[in-house]
Amino acid sequence: MRTQTPADRCEELVKCFDRDTVNHTYALNFILGTLRVYLQQGKTLTPEKLEDVLESALRFSKIRK
């Protein structure tokens, strides 16, 4: 059985943004804000960190009813 790579996991997470329960504006703002901080601090965005950013954006942008 093939081991799931961080790139595979990121691809799955990106597909989760198609759900109706995600506010796309909040998600995009969260992702862009996080990327801005990484660039300002000169940090390297690894696939593992990208996975963390996407998971956090999904949690942050859930539509609460």
What is the model's pLDDT at position 47? 86
Residue 7 inside a domain? The answer is no
Residue 63 inside a domain? The answer is yes
Range of the domain at 54: 21-65
With vertex at residue 33, the alpha carbon angle to CA 8 and CA 25, rounded to the nearest 5 degrees, is 80
What is the model's pLDDT at position 22? 87
Residue 16 inside a domain? The answer is no
Q: How confident is the model at residue 65 (pLDDT cuts 50, 70, 90)?
A: low
Q: Of 34, 40, 42, whose CA–CA distance to 58 is shortest?
A: 34
How many structural domains comprise the chain?
1
Q: What's this model's pTM, rounded to 2 decimal places?
A: 0.79
Residue 13 inside a domain? The answer is no
Residue 53 inside a domain? The answer is yes
pLDDT in tens, 4-43: 888 888 889 888 888 888 898 999 999 999 999 999 999 9
Residue 15 inside a domain? The answer is no
